[in-house]
Amino acid sequence: MQHSFVHLHARAQPEQVIAACAHFVVKQLNAAIAARGVARITLAGGNTPKALYDALASPLHRNEVDWQRVEFYFGDERAVPQTHPDSNFGMAQRHLFMPLGLAPTQVFPMISTPMFPLAEEAKRNQNLLTSWAGTGVPRFDFMVNGMGDDGHFASLFPDTPALTVRDRWVVVNPVAKLDTERLTLTYPIFEEARTVCFLVIGARKQAAFSAMMQPESTLPVARLIQSRTTDWFVDEACVNRATQKELP
């Protein structure tokens, strides 16, 4: 059963998924810039988005957006310095910001250099968001997310405290299963955004993808898709064959 709030952009092969998602990102950013003069986007970390960021910085797309009018934020970040190989900022720096030659003033890493204690970083990010959002829930134009095989997104992992936070936008989230702490945006931010997209590729994600579509699912990602419209860019390996129509 396809969830009524899920806009599925399914493609047979990963490279087709990346191409479709890159076109979608360009379109959404340009719409935001045309409407408000600026586009505020949050990026996902992990591995899957690397190919998307490479595509956006490639000759095919790099001239399609006035990148100076885009502000880049993050959905979550690991508790590591920007130069650490696990840093989501570092990954985006290599695959998107440097290839596009972006000014540091338009990129907002969640972790400072040098790194402060995580609770201080959370407060700093909270203040950054309220500096342009005021007292309401900060509204991003576009949010790029991945999904873990356990149904987490950003660093909203199953059975973690951040899942119930609704009065703060950025929190430190202890993730026992990873024996670490993460910084993550909270649900109100994802619920408020103009467009939320997921880029999910590979058979490893198939079980979580099928599970989240069940109305009674309590996976972190299921709570979001039950509350708002989301756009999903997925490949054949991720979509459960049972629900799959012929993919282009």
**Interacting residue ranges for ligand 6PG, rule: CB under 6 A:** 44-48, 75-76, 88, 146-148, 152-154
CB of 154 to ligand 6PG, least distance (A): 5
Dihedral Cα 45, 128, 23, 204, nearest 10 deg? 20
Residue 117 DSSP one-character state: P
CB–CB of 197/217 below 8 Å? Answer: no
In the complex with ligand 6PG, the residue whose CB is nearer, 88 or 160, is 88
CB of 134 to ligand 6PG, least distance (A): 27
CB of 207 to ligand 6PG, least distance (A): 13
Q: Where are the alpha helices (DSSP H) in the chain?
A: 14-36, 49-56, 88-92, 98-100, 118-133, 187-192, 206-212, 220-225
Report the alpha-carbon distance of residue 68 to residue 102 in Å, rounded.
7
In the complex with ligand 6PG, the residue whose CB is nearer, 25 or 33, is 25
Identify whether 117 is preceded by a cis peptide bond (ω within 30 of 0).
Answer: no
* Long-range contacts at 1-4 (CB < 8 A, ≥ 24 apart): 1/213, 1/243, 2/213, 2/243, 3/212, 3/213, 3/215, 3/225, 3/226
In the complex with ligand 6PG, the residue whose CB is nearer, 88 or 125, is 88
In the complex with ligand 6PG, the residue whose CB is nearer, 68 or 112, is 112
CB of 46 to ligand 6PG, least distance (A): 3
CB of 184 to ligand 6PG, least distance (A): 8
In the complex with ligand 6PG, the residue whose CB is nearer, 67 or 198, is 198
